[in-house]
Amino acid sequence: MNTVRASSRDRLLDAAAELFYSGGVHVGVQALCAAAGVSKRSMYQEFATKDELVAASLERSGPRYNALFLPEEADERTPRERILHVFERLEARSGSDRYRGCPFVSTAMELKDITHPASDVARRFKQQLTDFFEQQAGLAGAADPALLARQLTVVFDGAGARAVVSGKPLAGLALATATTLVDAATGGSSGETGRPRLSPG
């Protein structure tokens, strides 16, 4: 079933993820298929509609996108550091002139249709980021880990939006805001290391 080279389906999904991110979901299927080196015929054998392809490409690229920001599974850092790692990565990535914001937010805002299959995908992947924050917030001893997690997600998306609108680097804004929120929620001050309260050293 699978050919030696990447399958038509995979080439399609990868090209779609890239083109939809750089040009929006209104990019045509013609340009899409050309970029993937796949005929429209083959595309419509794999996907019933373009909407389905949009959702599938977001589903496929989603884990890779989130992985750009999440730290490695196990390292020696504190939960606080692991949370702030996400925002350090965001600062770095948002400096690129190809940065167009979070693809989940971007897609959902462009679709403006909560019932679109890709909107479900976007919501799930954003929840993954929030779940990570909540887990680390709990380990860091936050008073309300769920609240802090949602706050950090808000900062993540808001900083991405600002980078897009302003067209300028965040210059530490995301990291500073996240730091303030984490410290406020864990009782830490700016000079503190943020070592988790639940595992006093």
| Residue 199, amino acid | S
Say if residue 170 is exposed, middle or buried (CB neighbours under 10 Å; 0-12, 13-18, 19+): buried
51 binds DNA (CB under 7 A): yes
Q: Report, in Å, the least distance between residue 85 CB and DNA.
A: 37
Q: Report, in Å, the least distance between residue 51 CB and DNA.
A: 7
Q: Report, in Å, the least distance between residue 35 CB and DNA.
A: 11
Nearer to DNA, 50 or 89 (CB): 50
Q: Which listed option, a copy of itself, DNA, none, makes contact with residue 94 (CB within 5 to 8 Å by class)? A: none
CA-CA distance, 16 to 25, in Å (whole number)? Answer: 9
Q: Taking CB under 8 A as the rule, which mask of x and - marks residues 64-103 in contact with a copy of itself?
A: ------------------------------------xxx-
- Of 21-29, 59-67, 166-174, 190-198, the segment contacting DNA by CB under 7 A is 21-29
Alpha helix positions (H), 47-193: 50-67, 79-93, 103-111, 117-139, 145-166, 173-186
CA-CA distance, 124 to 136, in Å (whole number)? Answer: 19
